[in-house]
Structure 1
Amino acid sequence: MRWERFFEDLEHQLDSEWEAERAVLDSEAERLRMSRLTLRDRLAVLAEESDEVAIDLAGPAATLRGPLTGVGADWCSLELGADAHGALVPLRAITAVGAARPALTRSTRPVGAAGITCRMTLGFVLRDAARRRGAVRVHTVAGGAHTGTIDRAGADHFDLALHDADVPRRDTAVAGLRVIPFSTVTWVQLVGIGI
């Protein structure tokens, strides 16, 4: 009888130690998972649910508000409303992201399967905008904004033909040309292009 109680006590003690060790391992695994979580990963979860976000940008104080509509390799897109159209934001221009507490908590969950959009770079998206020939308004870190049509996009810059947003890009309407490095762009308002 004493031996049975002795073995039961040992078994309970081993079970308790095993549970404590497993809890430590689970905590460490969660810390490791969180250490690998990127801003892009969190934005991708918010975009899956089309969560409303507030994105603070570098440069002169600017905050964009709206539902996230997509996330690429180095950019995200928001719907700003019917009048303001869509916005394309380079991730490196983001200084802070705000959202409802449940959405931010949910954004720390493991990311689902990645689609092709996650591999599209800012250059890829701007080359598509050049192909579509719609008007854009480019906001820069210096606080300026240039309106026109993207003529071509390179590896780290793009050419913008300056003209009014409501006028098609014609040589007679072009007031000038700008070569704009990606590194100076805080966001691109997609005036004549749907996202």
Structure 2
Amino acid sequence: MRWDRFFEDLEDQLDSEWEAERAALDSEAERLRVARLSLFERLSALSGSTEADVLVDIRGGASATGRPVAAGPDWVALDDGTSRGVLVVPFAAVIALGASHADVLRSARGGAPGRIRERMTLGFILRDLARRRVPVTLLTTDGREYSGTVDRAASDHLDLALHDRGTPRRADLVAGHRLVPFTAVAGVRLEAPVAL
């Protein structure tokens, strides 16, 4: 009788050690998974949700709150509910992101962004806006705003033809030009609906 109890105790002890070891391995695997998680993957997990509002603090003191509608490897697009269109914010201009606790946890699971979306950099988006001649308002990291049309987007900067908001890009309406390094871009507000 006493030996039966002894072996039951050994079995319980072995079970407890196996459970502790399995929990430790699971914790380590989760830490490794989270260590590999990018901001792009976290925002991709929130993109398209009708409930997830994210606060984005932007260099220069600006901030925007909205639903992430798309994300790329170095940018996020927010629908902030204004009638002025979507705001594309480069990660380089993001100071901090705010979200509800539920959205923070949901984003920590990560999203599967897709191979094409992984290649859609800010430069790619800006070149597409130039090709489509979409009017934009460019926000800079020092708080300035420029309205116009992206004429060209190179590897690290863009050419912006300045004209009044709501007017087309025509030679007689262009008031000037600016060459803007991507590092100075805090946001690009699309003045017309564009699928990202």
The 5 Å alignment of 1:52-63 reads 52-59=53-60, 61-63=61-63
Structure 1: distance between partners of 2:110 and 2:178: 41
Residue 49 to residue 162, structure 1, CA distance change in 2 (3 Å): same
Find the residue that maps to 1:194 and give its secondary structure: coil
Contact 1:129 1:193 in 2 (8 A): no
- For residues 55-111 of structure 1, the C-alpha deviation after alignment (integer angstroms, 9 at most, x for no partner) is 11011x111111110001110101122522111110111111112221122111143
Task: Give the match's secondary structure for 2:186.
Answer: strand
Q: Which residue of 1 aligns with 2:175?
A: 175
Alignment match, 2:21 = 21
Q: Does 1:66 align with 2:76?
A: no
Alpha-carbon distance in 1 for matches of 2:184, 2:156:
10
Structure 1 position 113, deviation (Å): 5.5
1:125 partner amino acid: I
Could you list the runs of 5+ residues in structure 2 that have no partner in the other structure? none
2:114 matches 1:136 = no
Tell me if the contact between 2:149 and 2:162 (Cα under 8 Å) persists in the aligned partners: yes
Q: Distance in 1 between matches of 2:110 and 2:144?
A: 38
- Deviation, structure 1 residue 180: 0.7
Q: Tell me how far 1:48 sits from its aligned partner.
A: 3.9
Deviation at 1:115, TM superposition (A): 4.6
Residue identity matched to 2:65: R
**How big is each residue's C-alpha offset from its partner over 1:1-38, in whole Å with a ceiling of 9 and x where there is no partner?**
44333322222211111111111111111122222222
Describe the shift of the 1:182–1:173 C-alpha distance in structure 2 as closer, same or farther (beyond 3 A): same
* RMSD over equivalenced CA pairs, Å: 1.6
Question: Which amino acid in the other structure matches residue 145 of structure 1?
Answer: E
* TM-score between both structures, scaled by the size of structure 2: 0.92
Partner of 1:172, secondary structure, is helix
Q: How does 1:22-171 map to 2 (within 5 A)?
A: 22-50=22-50, 51-59=52-60, 61-112=61-112, 114-171=114-171
TM-score relative to the length of structure 1: 0.92
SS in 2 for 1:84: coil
* Amino acid in the other structure paired with 2:93: A
Provide structure 1 residue ranges, at least 5 long, that are not aligned to the other structure: none
Counterpart AA for 2:55:
A
Q: Which amino acid aligns with 1:78?
A: L
**Separation in 1, partners of 2:118, 2:75:** 9
**Secondary structure, in 3 states, of the residue corresponding to 2:34?**
helix
- The answer as to whether partners of 1:136 and 1:191 remain within 8 angstroms in 2 is yes
Find the aligned partners of 1:82 and 1:20 in 2 and give their Cα distance. 52
How many Å apart are 1:119 and its aligned residue? 2.0
- The amino acid across from 2:56 in the alignment is I
